[in-house]
Amino acid sequence: MDGVHVALASGESLVVLGPNGAGKTTLLRMLATLLRPDEGSLALLGHDCPEHADRARGAIGYLGHDPLVYLDLTAWQNLELFADLYGLDDPRTRIVDGLDAVGLLPRAYDPARTFSRGMVQRLGLARMLLHDPDLLLLDEPYAGLDARGRALLDEVLAAERAGRATVMVTHDVERGVAAADRALVLRAGRPVLSEPVTDVDPAAFRARYEDLVR
Amino acid sequence: MSPRSLRQFRALLVKDLRLELRTRDTAIAMLLFSVISMVIFQFAVGTRTEETTPFAGGILWATIALTAVLGVSRVYVPEREQRVLDGLLIAPVPRMVLMTSKAVAIVLYLLAVEIIAVPLVGIFFVEGSFAQDLPLILLTCLLANTGIGILGSLFASMALFSRAREVVLPVLFLPSLLPVVIAAAGATHSVFGVSNDMAEYRGFSLFLAVYAVIFGLVAYATYPFVFDD
């Protein structure tokens, strides 16, 4: 990564676009405190990172390519684990609400291994939102989801986005731009575009994007 | 440990035990490995004579050390295979808590193996009665397991990001276990069967405790950097 400058306020959303190998996931993993930048500065939710990454982590929600849940545990056991790791009060209510929001409450006591790919991704979504994070980091969250799963994910994210900063990495340019306030396009680790997209037609933006990354 | 860390530790340990109870991958593999090893030793050195009794402690702890390598190499398998490690690392869990939970899981797996392996080594190799020695050998197991667990958790975490972890882990871990094997075998030998040298037992036990404390301090100083640097 080189020359990337991102500033995001609470309630704002950023979509990060680019071809494979552009550095999108690397950027997101830095924001998730999973990678240390060699140079430059990173402040998350008012905490300088990586020095104070441990203070920022409690307010970050991350959903990557993988849903980050144990397939051999039940949906309830997975959320119970993360409720304890995040030190949540009243975990029972939060787990019930979380599973209900993603439509998995009837399957709460089934091992995640018995779920379809879309259901596991929804469980990952419930895990991400369980601790009411201030910063949502989404890496290809639509990957592997069918149309119904995508619609549900859109619905949940739209409901949960208010008051949180959101960064989404996706190859789905139109869907990403439609959901974001700003777009950052990367190519070979460098930004080639960074601008607001609130009033931009997603289809028209896609044509521009194709030119930028060609 | 703060109440919050204690809650995190308990949750991580319960998770590991739940996964183990569901899949029965690690403890069963360790148990089978240790039983098969001792059967092989039995054919190699003979059965339950005056000559085999002095070797019982050494056979037991050589077997436990090799079994520990198997257990330690599998301790992060759920996180690796089900790709959940990032979820744990993003959570506000001190690295010390994460690795302590793994160390305790290793200790419990080893204890599960030793519950079978210790009587078995007595039956196979110790002439005469040994039931009265089991409480002291259990204490040796607890001391040795603590050192093995701390060291195993540290090396397993370090090897996690290595491509050649299957090679790196035994190469680093087994030589580091040598002092534990020597001291635990010595402690076991000093009380197993007809032997009853309590001064020797105390000396070896003290060594095992010091080993656990030293590697506990090394791990405490190292843990935060294993995942983050």
Q: Is residue A64 part of a domain?
A: no
DSSP A36-53: --SSS-EEETTEEETTTH
Could you give the 3-state DSSP secondary structure of residue A168?
A: strand
Q: What is the rounded CA–CA span in Å between residue A124 and residue B78? A: 16
| Chain B nearest CA to A73, separation (Å) | 7
A10 in the same domain as A43: yes
**β-pairing, A13-17 with A182-187?**
parallel
Residues of chain B whose beta carbon is less than 8 angstroms from a beta carbon of chain A are 4, 7-8, 10-12, 14-15, 18-19, 22-23, 78, 82-84, 86-94, 228-229
Cα distances from A57 to residues A44, A52, A180, in angstroms, run 9, 9, 23
Domain boundary among the residues A132, A152, A181 is at A132
CA nearest to A70 within chain B: B82
Q: What is the rounded CA–CA span in Å between residue B131 and residue A199? A: 81
Domain boundary among the residues A108, A132, A156 is at A132
The whole-number pLDDT of residue A27 equals 93
Phi and psi torsions of A200, nearest 5°: -100, 140
CA angle B79–B82–B84, rounded 5-degree value: 50
B132-142 tens-digit pLDDT: 889 999 999 99
ipTM: 0.89
Interface test with chain A among B84, B90, B161, B223, by most A beta carbons within 10 Å: B90
pLDDT tier at B162 (50, 70, 90 boundaries)?
confident
CA nearest to B94 within chain A: A54
Residues A82, B8: C-beta atoms closer than 8 Å: no
CB distance A10 to A134 below 8 Å: yes
Bridge partner residues of A182 (DSSP)? A14, A196
Q: What is the rounded CA–CA span in Å between residue B192 and residue A11? A: 69
A147 in the same domain as A128: no
- Mean pLDDT (chain A) is 90
Q: Is residue A37 part of a domain?
A: yes
Q: Is residue A147 part of a domain?
A: yes
A146 in the same domain as A96: no
A195 in the same domain as A148: yes
A139 in the same domain as A189: yes
The whole-number pLDDT of residue B229 equals 52
Residue B228 reports pLDDT greater than 70: no
The whole-number pLDDT of residue A143 equals 79
Domain residue limits at A55: 1-59+134-214
Domain boundary among the residues A105, A132, A159 is at A132
CB distance B184 to B115 below 8 Å: no
A185 in the same domain as A80: no
A91 in the same domain as A77: yes
Domain CATH code at residue A169: 3.40.50.300
A140 in the same domain as A54: yes
Of A47, A12, A29, the closest CA to residue A139 belongs to A29
Q: Is residue A65 part of a domain?
A: no
Among the partner-chain residues A34, A60, A70, the one whose CB lies closest to the CB of B78 is A70
A102 in the same domain as A80: yes
Q: What is the rounded CA–CA span in Å between residue B180 and residue B189? A: 14
Q: What is the rounded CA–CA span in Å between residue A76 and residue A71? A: 12
The C-alpha R_g of chain B, in whole angstroms, comes to 18
Choose the weakest-confidence range: A59-68, A77-86, A106-115.
Answer: A59-68
Of A82, A78, A62, the closest CA to residue A70 belongs to A78
| Structural domains in chain A (count) | 2
CA nearest to B97 within chain A: A85
Q: What is the rounded CA–CA span in Å between residue B36 and residue B70? A: 14
A204 in the same domain as A145: yes
B62-111 tens-digit pLDDT: 999 999 999 999 999 999 888 899 999 999 999 899 999 999 999 999 99
Bridge partner residues of A42 (DSSP)? A49
